[in-house]
């Protein structure tokens, strides 16, 4: 009757492994995380024939599987809404976060198609080891043009670091929407904003 | 006679813009950064169709059909001039390392006869300092936002910088042949627009309202540039 002992031993071993492995994953430094994830994505972009051919659906799938889990969309939406966030019901907040997420994913996939093998510099992280909000700085080097800085703002949560803003060339993807969101809410309330976001995501032309 | 008619057309256009501007004053929350919003929106309404139907297609055709070596020669030629201005503005802000890089780029690119960008191949980083940033560094605020047809988004401060920049252009003093100079201006403008094609595509994709999106992007970007990538944290709803 070796069975119970073996099982027990295996269970303990697995449990111990899980205990060690999980915190290790969660504790991946934010700059290491940004570098690993962006290199994984760029690798696919460089080698995947469908992406090379400009297949939007494939690029969106890539973002959904590789990137989305590293972003905190409800915090992003709250940031873009500013003080209007508190005026929205939990139900509205959920819908807003969903719509904003699809808008950002579409925008991001559109921007990724334009990536042409440029070199990316990952800057050393300047933050305390105990910091829970950090900015990871990178730079896209371009021939004959000034580099484009891309900064990622990340926050430390229970399941590791998550990005809540991407700042491209000084332009924050999130706060860039604040004027527009304010304006939409002023004109049509929170529901007005939900509707115009969803219309935009369904392919409606911008004004 | 023709000139007169041109002036009158321009005056009529400006008047129409003003009227259109005033007509829309009431239905928008005023923005602190953009006190002339109705007027600016009217200017944007003039700019947008010209850009979409004429300027942007020309820039796109330039990128798609002109041989790459010609494109990069043009970019390098104007890039060298920009490096000179960037070095000068770097010095005005006491950014010795940046200014040094830009001067280094100029020196190295002499060997490329102004049309081969050896400095970039050698990995010397290209600066992007300009007069507007220098004024900002000196503590001069942006002033009201302006949208100028064909030029695009700017502010009173940055626009002043652009005017100085235009009058200081070496082309004015080095190239005496007016038709040649005009061709060079044209090529420079097309190259400049071509560099913004990617950004335009993102705006098309991302913006709910193009005017507001461009304004916010422009002001954020300039703030970021003045502080060299570390702008002070802003409060909500600014």
The closest of B207, B202, B210, B171 to B188, measured between CA atoms, is B171
**Contact indicator for B114, B80 with CB cutoff of 8 Å:** yes
Q: B6-65: per-residue pLDDT in tens?
A: 455 545 544 444 444 444 444 566 678 999 999 999 999 999 999 999 999 999 999 999
Q: What is the pLDDT of residue A18?
A: 62
Mutate to test the interface with A, among B142, B205, B232 (most CBs of A within 10 A): B205
**What's the whole-number mean pLDDT along residues B114-140?**
93
Q: Does A72 touch chain B if contact means CB atoms closer than 8 Å?
A: no
Please name the member of B127, B204, B217 whose beta carbon is closest to the beta carbon of A176. B217
Q: Kindly tell me the sign of the dihedral angle through the C-alpha atoms of B152, B153, B157, B158.
A: negative
Q: DSSP per residue over B138-163, as a string?
A: TT----SEEEETTTEEEEHHHHHHHH
Q: A109-168: per-residue pLDDT in tens?
A: 877 777 777 889 999 888 888 889 999 999 998 878 888 899 999 999 888 899 999 999
User: Whole-structure pTM over 0.90, yes or no?
Assistant: no
SS3 content of chain A, % helix, strand, coil (to 5): 60, 20, 20
- CB contact under 8 Å between A107 and B210, yes or no, is no
| Dihedral in degrees, nearest 10, Cα atoms A47, A50, A53, A57 | -130
**B-side interface with A, Cβ within 8 Å?**
27-29, 31, 72, 75-76, 79, 117, 120-121, 125-128, 195, 198, 201-202, 204-210, 212-213, 215-217, 220-225, 229, 231, 234, 236-237
Task: Give the phi and the psi of residue A145 in degrees, each rounded to 5.
Answer: -135, 155
Which residue did the predictor score with more confidence, B161 or B176? B161
Q: What is the pLDDT of residue A198?
A: 92
Q: State whether ipTM is beyond 0.85.
A: no
pLDDT at B3 > cutoff 50: no
Please name the member of B28, B195, B209 whose beta carbon is closest to the beta carbon of A145. B195
Which residues of chain B lie closer than 8 angstroms to A177, CB-CB?
A: 208
Q: A2-32: per-residue pLDDT in tens?
A: 556 777 777 776 666 665 555 555 578 999 9
DSSP E strand boundaries for A17-159? 119-122, 133-142, 145-157
- CB contact under 8 Å between B29 and A182, yes or no, is yes
Mutate to test the interface with A, among B212, B225, B234 (most CBs of A within 10 A): B212
Mutate to test the interface with B, among A77, A102, A176 (most CBs of B within 10 A): A176
Q: A54-99: per-residue pLDDT in tens?
A: 788 888 888 989 999 999 999 999 999 999 999 999 999 999 999 9
The rounded percent of chain A whose pLDDT value lies above 70 is 88
Q: What is the pLDDT of residue A167?
A: 93
Which residues of chain A lie closer than 8 angstroms to B197, CB-CB?
A: none
Please name the member of B202, B209, B236 whose beta carbon is closest to the beta carbon of A180. B209
First to last CA, chain A: 75
Tokens representing A4 are: 């119970």
Please name the member of A114, A187, A200 whose beta carbon is closest to the beta carbon of B198. A114
Please name the member of B27, B79, B220 whose beta carbon is closest to the beta carbon of A172. B220
Per-residue confidence at A200, pLDDT binned at 50, 70, 90?
A: confident
């Amino acid at each position: 009757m070796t069975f119970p002992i073996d099982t027990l031993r295996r269970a303990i071993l697995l449990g111990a492994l899980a205990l060690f492995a999980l915190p290790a994953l969660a504790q991946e430094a934010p700059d290491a995380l940004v570098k690993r994830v962006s290199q994984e994505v760029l690798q696919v972009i460089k080698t995947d024939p469908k992406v090379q051919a400009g297949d939007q659906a494939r690029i969106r799938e890539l973002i959904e599987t590789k990137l989305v889990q590293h972003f905190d969309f409800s915090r992003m939406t709250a940031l873009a809404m500013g003080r209007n966030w508190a005026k929205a019901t939990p139900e509205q907040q959920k819908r807003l976060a969903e719509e904003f997420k699809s808008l950002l994913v579409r925008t991001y996939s559109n921007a990724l198609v334009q990536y042409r093998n440029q070199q990316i510099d990952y800057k050393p992280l300047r933050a305390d080891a105990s910091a829970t909000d950090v900015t990871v700085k990178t730079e896209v080097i371009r021939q004959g043009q000034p580099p484009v800085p891309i900064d990622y703002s990340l926050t430390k949560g229970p399941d590791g670091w998550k990005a809540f803003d991407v700042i491209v060339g000084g332009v924050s993807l999130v706060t860039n929407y604040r004027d527009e969101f304010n304006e939409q809410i002023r004109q049509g309330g929170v529901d007005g904003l939900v509707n115009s976001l969803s219309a935009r995501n369904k392919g409606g032309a911008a004004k | 006679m023709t000139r007169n008619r041109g002036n009158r057309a321009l005056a009529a256009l400006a008047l129409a813009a003003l009227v259109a501007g005033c007509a829309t004053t009431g239905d928008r929350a005023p923005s602190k950064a953009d006190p002339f919003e109705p007027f600016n929106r009217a200017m944007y309404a003039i700019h947008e169709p010209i850009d979409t139907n004429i300027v942007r297609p020309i820039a796109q055709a330039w990128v798609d059909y002109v041989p790459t070596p010609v494109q990069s020669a043009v970019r390098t030629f104007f890039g060298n001039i920009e490096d000179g201005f960037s070095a000068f503005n770097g010095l005005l802000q006491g950014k010795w390392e940046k200014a040094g890089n830009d001067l280094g780029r100029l020196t190295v690119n002499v060997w490329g006869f102004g049309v081969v960008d050896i400095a970039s191949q050698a990995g010397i980083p290209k600066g992007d300092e300009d007069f507007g940033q220098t004024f900002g560094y000196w503590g001069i605020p942006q002033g009201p936002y302006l949208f100028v047809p064909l030029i695009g988004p700017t502010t009173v401060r940055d626009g002043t910088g652009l005017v100085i920049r235009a009058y200081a252009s070496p082309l004015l003093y080095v190239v005496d042949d007016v038709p040649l100079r005009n061709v060079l201006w044209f090529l420079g403008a097309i190259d400049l627009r071509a560099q913004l094609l990617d950004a335009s595509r993102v705006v098309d994709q991302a913006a709910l309202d193009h005017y507001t999106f461009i304004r916010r992007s422009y002001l954020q970007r300039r703030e970021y540039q003045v502080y060299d990538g570390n702008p002070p944290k802003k409060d909500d709803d600014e």
